[in-house]
Structure 1
Amino acid sequence: MTKEDVGLNRGLTNYGDREFARYLRRSMARSMGVSTDLLNKPVIGIATSPSQFNNCHRYMPELAEAVARGVLAAGGLPREFPTISLGEVFLNPTSMVFRNLMSMDVEEMIRAQPMDAVVLIGGCDKTVPAQLMGAASAGRPTVQLVTGPMMTGRHKGERLGACTDCRRFWGKFRAGEIDATEIQQVEGRLATTAGTCAVMGTASTMACIAEALGMSIPGTATIPAVDSQRLVAAEEAGKRAVWLAQNPITPDRIITQASVENAFRVLMALSGSTNAIVHLTAIAGRLGIRISPERLNQISDETPVLVDLKPVGEGYMEDFHAAGGVGAVLRELRPLLNPDCLTIDGTTLRERLDAPAGWVDRKVIRAFDNPISPVGGLIALSGNLAPGGAIFKRAAATPSLFEHEGRAVVFEGLQDLAERIDDPDLDVNPDDVLVLKNAGPLGAGMPEAGYLPIPSKLARAGVKDMVRISDARMSGTAYGTVVLHIAPEAAAGGPLAAVRNGDRIRLSVSAKRIELLVDEAEIQRRLSAWTRPAEPARGYQRLYHRTVTQAPDGCDLDFLILDPAQPTL
């Protein structure tokens, strides 16, 4: 690439006259009050996603200002631009439907606008995956900056953090252990600052994965949103982007088979969100990288759980940051990692780990030889109920239910679940298996509905956990013996569609199997009567329905996944 193709000269608008396009672009840039000196500097895009429908991103304007400060200090021209924003709890039917749309927005705006490098600012659950997916496809040097986790609140002398504690207190409310007045008090004390959830939910997990991949500045994944160091990290991201503009390292050189495996190991050690498997699969898929379920299980069985955080432990993200953060985890995992992976600062993971180590709080981050669990938190399941695979978070489940056979209590969809789960006449016992159908990518957009509530009559009797099975997802802040992401989903005609009330289902964590104990001929007979759900009438929803893949392929749109045999743009 020549000097004529960088900075504001990059990707000139096509009027059929290149010099006119350059002249017009500079004229319009000068109308924004930018000096001619700055117009000749490297251009750094700052992708922002603020919204008053997104509480996680409340401080984003301040972060963008800090990034711009870093860009200017390093001799670049910062140019902020917006993309759509995905506020997890404010979107219907679920933010998962719009992750791919945001990834397309990010990709096209990076590619279409004249920038030599880009800083992506995001935090809320689907935002960081969408940004990394878009950046991987766009192929421009990229720095991922996260908004950071919120701080904890207080209730009756106890620390509270969204959203594990919100589920715990809601469970108490459903069971009649606390009243409406107290649940309203808790509502106002769960999320008291800006930032992402205070536990190792999906947002925090993806922030850690971005750092483990090498796409974020080391040490920045866990800085709380309200900590002044978060702004320092933003300034450093701006400086790093200018360096990348002058020393281009594109995402495909950082996100590799080796670094993706490293990221999966960190995921296991964190006992992070089940959603991260879908998201990391989608990010990797944009570059033609694939991790098989067998390899996922091998990584999990080799990698201990080292971090004691909710939802599977006791701590919060502010504790993890103070304890040493992602860097401390990487040092403990060093014997298992691919050390020669490149990072956005031009160094390798090996060089980072060779640097002097800081203090580590062993109450929060365990040593490799003294783990919380000797095996990773997440595994892939197979079996006749999930021939395409399923996911199980063993670190968040009840061990006594790891080997379980029970009678299916079936809900045909989300509406059926809402209408019947608390029916006092529901035929359900603690040993039964709750089954939710038609909640996968095609059926309902794959919402976080896999954490089926314990039927209220059982909850009031003291039942805390049951085996639950669905083609839905589960919040990274949730817990329980829950089988998720069953593929093919019911709405795609998978075996899940054939399950009926009273069928026997067997879960075996030791064998990594989920089985419907019904004769194969009977399963096929039932499926022969299955009919495909109606397609949405128009717009993005129709495009999504026609092209979305199943969970083992990352729930991406099929035309966005890179086929290594095909040339890229």
Structure 2
Amino acid sequence: MTKDNSQDQQPQGLARGLTNYGDMDFSVYLRNSFAASMGYSREVLKKPIVGIANSFSGFNNCHRHFPEMLEAVKRGVLLGGGLPIEFPTISLGEVFLSPTSLKFRNLMSMDTEEMIRAQPMDAVVLMGGCDKTVPAQLMGAASAGIPAIQIVAGPMMTSRYEEERLGACTDCRRFWGKYRAGEVSTAQINDIEGRLATTSGTCAVMGTASTMACIAETLGMSLPGTAAIPAVHADRLRAAEATGLAAARMIERPILPSEIITEKSVENALRVLLALGGSTNAIIHLTAIAGRLGIPVSLQKLNQLSDETPVLVNLKPVGSHYMEDFFFAGGVGAVLRELRPLLNLDCMTVTGETLGDRLETETGWVDRRVIASAAEPLEPQGGLVALFGNLAPRGAILKRSAADERLFEKEGRAVVFTSLEDLAARVDDPELDITADDFMVLQNAGPRSASGMPEAGYLPIPKKLSSKGVKDMVRISDARMSGTAFGTIVLHVSPESAVGGPLALVRTGDRIRLSVKNKSIDLLVDEAELERRRAELPPQPSTANRRGYDKLYAEQVLQADEGCDFTMLQPVKG
């Protein structure tokens, strides 16, 4: 690869990216004078600058400990001879955003990119953790094109309810399902509610946040061994300090995100995702991150890798353990060592070493109860599979490692819900015509819908079925699913209903055939009837009455197989 030395050719520190008043000497003079008002000495102002993108927010419980982490990052930057300067960006607290956090991921990526580009910094530390913050920061940094390094929040520690160990949010869903089925009382669910999330940090299971942390480490964008450290562990602060030091050192030996995030490192990340049995959301995020550098992520390629890559990690929602167990069991490094024969070892990392260099020297004890060996995997094939057929011409995703394999080869009758509002109104109606053998279908929940592609793909089992002991059934939608969720759930159907995709043509009573073996999902309705229904579809909703970011999102967002990024944020060709 030809190294881009544009970073080396620019001035450093406060002399970088001067505000233009038509007199550059005046610009330096004015900038230094205002910087002096913050108490910096002249000598300090001569140092190279490490910006710290801080996504702390009172609306983000995952980042509650960021003030302490921030001080550790600054300490590391100072040790490396740099000047640390923190700057805020918007933050995306997963459960505090409406209609859904995905809608604001691209906004945060734009904020991150533009603030990195606009402000004088020679390298940047990205402080994130909650589900959409890490992909947003990596997307922004990839586009900004200066040395960048990720430090994640780390997972929560688990809690207890009576004799049970609890971790948000797989156990949130498990107990809520029991409550809906009448197995848990109102008093019990209220008690459990206060025990599910009791420390700072991200969800304690292999949900989207932990999956993206592992992907960032695998890509080489964060320091080795840092993805799984619990948020409240002293090692998390040591990792923050080491990250600040690494960022300062990257100024002297610049390594750009484009040198780290490559087709080969993205393939490595996909393999680790499959071995983790990680979040379905990670496919969308990794596609968006790679897309910022013009790297396509093919769902056909995903299937090829999935056939070759075993599931190795026994964590909820796929298994039985939690992220703190994964950390003590060996973490991402242990998974990478098991996958080594399948990995591209020449991929560069933020340390200046290749992945192969890391694995050459890295050893350690592995808890095989949590991280299986490649010779004796938990499952022989990867945790995710892409499905294609006339219902999903551009693909759909199934997390087979979290699904009931008895439902993998099945034909069923569609029971259609035309919107989230329709689902909420009818799902628990005692008169709902549905059986456990039917396929629940949700329409109009994709990226261009009014709902903005929420994590609504985990359709609740109707009470008339859950009260009789039904735990799983086939559910299909163009929505997403939380990485903490489980079930035989087909997601990200592309193209979506709102743009006239085949999912919009499904009617209650239609037959649908699912085959995980054949990686297919088909609507068993003849083409003539589908054409008739297509002609009756209403026109796509106008954006004329929308404004601001809501309008921008509606007009720019791409489909799920393209990462739900914005058209205007793709690399400029030529």
Q: Which residue of 2 aligns with 1:129?
A: 135
State the one-letter code of the partner of 2:480. Answer: R
Secondary structure of residue in 2 paired with 1:118 = strand
505, 509, 514: which one aligns with 1:507: 514
234, 253, 256: which one aligns with 2:262: 256
Q: Distance in 2 between matches of 1:122 and 1:364?
A: 26
Q: Which residue of 2 aligns with 1:197?
A: 203
Secondary structure of residue in 1 paired with 2:448 = helix
Aligned residues: 565
Q: Which residue of 2 aligns with 1:351?
A: 357
Q: Distance in 1 between matches of 2:125 and 2:189?
A: 40
Deviating 4+ runs (over 3 angstroms): 1-4
Question: What root-mean-square deviation, in Å, do the aligned CA atoms of Structure 1 and Structure 2 show?
Answer: 0.9
1:478 paired to 2:450:
no
Q: Which residue of 2 aligns with 1:411?
A: 417
Deviation at 1:3, TM superposition (A): 7.2
524, 548, 552: which one aligns with 1:543: 552
Could you give the per-residue CA deviations for residues 297-354 of structure 1, whole angstroms, max 9, x where no partner exists? 0011100000000001000000000000000000000000000000001000000010
Q: Distance in 1 between matches of 2:9 and 2:566?
A: 36
Q: Which residue of 1 aligns with 2:17?
A: 11
Q: Which residue of 1 aligns with 2:240?
A: 234
State the one-letter code of the partner of 2:541. Answer: P
Identity %: 68
Q: Distance in 2 between matches of 1:162 and 1:95?
A: 17
Q: Distance in 1 between matches of 2:390 and 2:96?
A: 36
Aligned positions of 1:349-388 closer than 5 A: 349-388=355-394
State the one-letter code of the partner of 1:533. Answer: P
1:285 paired to 2:291:
yes
Deviation at 1:4, TM superposition (A): 6.4
Q: Which residue of 1 aligns with 2:3?
A: none
1:523 paired to 2:544:
no
State the one-letter code of the partner of 1:442. Answer: R
Aligned positions of 1:383-532 closer than 5 A: 383-443=389-449, 444-531=451-538, 532=540
Q: Which residue of 2 aligns with 1:554?
A: 563
Deviation at 1:290, TM superposition (A): 0.7
Could you give the per-residue CA deviations for residues 87-114 of structure 1, whole angstroms, max 9, x where no partner exists? 0000000000000000000000000000
Q: Distance in 2 between matches of 1:156 and 1:431?
A: 35
Could you give the per-residue CA deviations for residues 60-86 of structure 1, whole angstroms, max 9, x where no partner exists? 111111101111111110000000010
Q: Distance in 2 between matches of 1:14 and 1:93?
A: 40
State the one-letter code of the partner of 1:474. Answer: M
Deviation at 1:291, TM superposition (A): 2.1
Deviation at 1:533, TM superposition (A): 2.2
Q: Distance in 2 between matches of 1:356 and 1:341?
A: 16
Secondary structure of residue in 2 paired with 1:487 = coil
229, 244, 248: which one aligns with 2:250: 244
TM-score (norm 2): 0.98
Deviation at 1:279, TM superposition (A): 0.2
Q: Distance in 2 between matches of 1:559 and 1:520?
A: 35
Q: Distance in 1 between matches of 2:207 and 2:362?
A: 29
State the one-letter code of the partner of 2:523. Answer: L
1:173 paired to 2:179:
yes
Q: Which residue of 1 aligns with 2:113?
A: 107
Structure 2, unpaired ranges of 5+: 1-5
TM-score (norm 1): 0.98
Q: Distance in 2 between matches of 1:533 and 1:382?
A: 27
Deviation at 1:476, TM superposition (A): 0.1
Q: Which moved more, 1:348-357 or 1:165-174?
A: 348-357
Q: Distance in 2 between matches of 1:236 and 1:194?
A: 21
Secondary structure of residue in 2 paired with 1:486 = coil
Deviation at 1:56, TM superposition (A): 0.3
Q: Distance in 1 between matches of 2:273 and 2:220?
A: 14
Aligned positions of 1:41-60 closer than 5 A: 41-60=47-66
532, 537, 541: which one aligns with 1:533: 541
1:140 paired to 2:146:
yes
